[in-house]
Amino acid sequence: MMTKTLAVLLLVGALVDTASGQPTSDLATLQANPAYQAALDHLDRDYDRFVRELIELTEIPAPPFTEDARAVAYMTMLQAAGLDVEQDGVGNVMGLRRGTGGGPLLAVAAHIDTVFPPETDVTVRRSGTRLKAPGIGDDTAGLATLLAVIRALDAASLETASDVLFIGNVGEEGPGDLRGVKYLFREGAYRDRITAFMSVESGGQSAITNGALGSRRYRATFRGPGGHSYGAFGLVNPAFAMAGAMQRFAAIDVPENPKTTLSVGIVRGGTSVNSIPFETSMDIDMRSESPEELDKLVEAFLGAMDMAVDEENATRSVSQGPIELDLELIGDRPSGLTPASAPIMRAAIAAARAFGIESRQRTSSTDANLPISLGIPAITIGRGGLGGRSHSLDEWVDIDREPTVRGLQVVLTTILAVAGPAE
């Protein structure tokens, strides 16, 4: 929750340059700038093109690990919007918009990947102002938003102090495990230059994600000798070992605050009804707002797995071999927090407020997790507009002009507030 002190600061409207930590501007100055007003107007005039590009991008499938067709199309669009573009080693596409300051670099990203498998029908269907297609909101609308914002900045000749790197990144959704931003911050050409990060996601603008919800995901596989259910009765059974493991896992005590959760998402295994299985497995999801609580939970999970295996090996015969446990880490998202007092948060809150939106803070799992865990100021904002049912085949966005354009305007204003106006 926002503190009183912060609210007062925002009323004064003082913003702080993310690089120098010195106050350089306020939104009143920005609002009085005719070029800024021209940029806002341009977003309205550009509405039809925004919708067209949204549909075009949505209809290029982008399943996890198979984002390249859409990435290449997006790179062409970034280029058409006037940027020098490049694609990095993991598949992220990006274009740099130079600022006047020559120093700090704000990265603004939307993710290219969707959760949907390749065979999904991604044809956009329209009824009234509603467009329906898998992935159209999350995060294809974010990609289209960045294009509209770049064009508006250029049309109005608006310069920023910071360089702004616009990115369509891969690997945000579950199985991708943030591989796009991991590459960006660990190996990418800009890794040492990015001083602030903002991702633009589907969703409203009344919440700004500054808390990174960490998660750890495992596939636990239990293997044994297997055998005939009748003839080999008495041998250790991977299903029993896994059942014991699940029960112990479910019994782990987690705090309500900071919110910490655990779940078994998928279970598999077995050969036939009359066989002792030689293999069973389950996929585990653990999350926490707190890195310490997440570590504690993972410890307890690992202990529960070992104990269940030992118990099965002690209960039944290991004459043909014991139960063995194989643990594979299939997801690792770090947690952390960009404080509400950080300049990037103050700028984003002030930008939303300029449109009458009072934003609250939110903790979520997004591309911002990674920079946040590295101590780089990072947030995830909504692209505005209306939409819903993300990650479902019924996903939709409403393209009613007024709220759609206002959403774009908030994003543009947030970028300007963070990147700072040209000196």
Kindly list the residues in this chain that would bind Zn ion in the complex (CB under 5 A): 138-139, 201
Smallest gap from residue 138 Cβ to Zn ion (A): 4
Q: In this complex, which beta carbon is closest to Zn ion, that of residue 64 or of residue 244? A: 64
Strand, coil or helix: 190: coil
Structure tokens at 148: 């509209």
Smallest gap from residue 158 Cβ to Zn ion (A): 27
Q: In this complex, which beta carbon is closest to Zn ion, that of residue 46 or of residue 139? A: 139
Q: In this complex, which beta carbon is closest to Zn ion, that of residue 139 or of residue 289? A: 139
Q: In this complex, which beta carbon is closest to Zn ion, that of residue 345 or of residue 368? A: 368
Helices 343-353 and 4-12 pack at an angle, to 10 degrees, of 70
Q: Please give the Cα distance from 388 to 329 (Å, whole number).
A: 31
Q: In this complex, which beta carbon is closest to Zn ion, that of residue 201 or of residue 279? A: 201
Smallest gap from residue 376 Cβ to Zn ion (A): 20
Q: In this complex, which beta carbon is closest to Zn ion, that of residue 53 or of residue 139? A: 139
Strand, coil or helix: 210: strand
Strand, coil or helix: 344: helix
Smallest gap from residue 167 Cβ to Zn ion (A): 14
Q: In this complex, which beta carbon is closest to Zn ion, that of residue 137 or of residue 226? A: 137
Helix (H) or strand (E) holding 57: helix 47-58
Q: In this complex, which beta carbon is closest to Zn ion, that of residue 17 or of residue 173? A: 173
Smallest gap from residue 199 Cβ to Zn ion (A): 8
Q: CA triplet 336, 368, 85: central angle to 5 degrees? A: 155
CB distance 171 to 348 below 8 Å = no
Q: What is the CB neighbour count within 10 angstroms for residue 423? A: 11
Q: Please give the Cα distance from 88 to 100 (Å, whole number).
A: 25
Backbone CA torsion sign across 218, 219, 225, 231 = positive
Strand partners, 169: 111
Q: In this complex, which beta carbon is closest to Zn ion, that of residue 92 or of residue 162? A: 92
Smallest gap from residue 380 Cβ to Zn ion (A): 9
Smallest gap from residue 379 Cβ to Zn ion (A): 14
Structure tokens at 304: 């529960």
Of 79, 27, 46, the C-alpha closest to 346 is 27
Strand partners, 396: 132, 388
Smallest gap from residue 200 Cβ to Zn ion (A): 10
Q: In this complex, which beta carbon is closest to Zn ion, that of residue 88 or of residue 138? A: 138
Of 293, 291, 289, the C-alpha closest to 211 is 289
Of 189, 34, 201, the C-alpha closest to 112 is 201
Q: Please give the Cα distance from 206 to 293 (Å, whole number).
A: 28
Q: Kindly list the distances between the CA atom of residue 258 and the CA atoms of 3, 57, 212, 294, 339, in Å, as whole numbers in the listed order.
A: 19, 38, 12, 10, 16
Q: In this complex, which beta carbon is closest to Zn ion, that of residue 138 or of residue 177? A: 138
Q: Please give the Cα distance from 222 to 210 (Å, whole number).
A: 38
Virtual CA dihedral for 191, 192, 198, 202, nearest 10 degrees?
A: 0
Smallest gap from residue 88 Cβ to Zn ion (A): 20
Q: Omega into 258 within 30° of 0, i.e. cis? A: yes
Smallest gap from residue 172 Cβ to Zn ion (A): 6
Q: Please give the Cα distance from 278 to 280 (Å, whole number).
A: 7
Smallest gap from residue 58 Cβ to Zn ion (A): 14
